[in-house]
Amino acid sequence: MKLGRTARLVLGIGIFVFALATLFMFYARQSGEQKELEKSLAGAQTQLTNFVSGKESLESLLAQQQSKLAEAQSTVQASFPELATSIEYNEVLAEIARLHNLEVVSMTAEQPRQSKVEDVTFVVISFGVGVRGTLNSILGMVNDIAKDKRFASATVEVVNIQVPEPQPITVGVAPEEPSATIKLVGYSYGGE
């Protein structure tokens, strides 16, 4: 069958219109997908910008906190003197006892040990002194220990005072004097 020129022209225009309509539909679909992808890309870029600025903010905050931590550690180190040895403490205790006319009857010291409170490590040393003399002198010694700057990082943990019962006066026998055992605990910064 032979088609006439007009039929061929109409058929050609139909095929052309069909092809053009199909291309337009693909273009419209692609255009919609492209707009969706552009929106997603813009959202992702916004999130990336937020993450980068958040990271910079957190890094700055970390640097500030590390600086504060270093400052706090140096403050702790400065507030706790180097660990004094038990010999140094015992010498000071003997000196205070002499000032109050007390007889030193015993001195004790334990090995230094480490103690941790939260993230701070301390070196702890316990030591004690036994003295004999008047009750006022013993109380004066305890008071001086509490006020003495050499014991700034130490605390008086226990004071055990023993006062003997009054005895009848016997010629040639000295009356028994009050005695006390004083236990102290010294603290020193022990590092991290």
pLDDT, tens only, 21-41: 898 888 888 888 888 888 888
The pLDDT tens digits for 112-140 are 888 777 777 778 888 888 999 988 999 99
The pLDDT tens digits for 154-186 are 888 999 999 888 777 777 667 788 899 999 888
**Looking at residues 86-109, what average pLDDT do you find?**
85
pTM: 0.53
The pLDDT tens digits for 66-92 are 888 878 776 655 554 444 455 677 788
Residue 15: how many other CB atoms lie within 10 Å: 10
Which helix (DSSP H) or strand (DSSP E) does residue 39 occupy? helix 5-79
* CA distance linking residue 145 with residue 183, whole number of Å: 11
Cβ-count burial of 82 within 10 angstroms (0-12 exposed, 13-18 middle, 19+ buried)? exposed
Mean pLDDT of the chain: 82
* CA distance linking residue 41 with residue 60, whole number of Å: 28
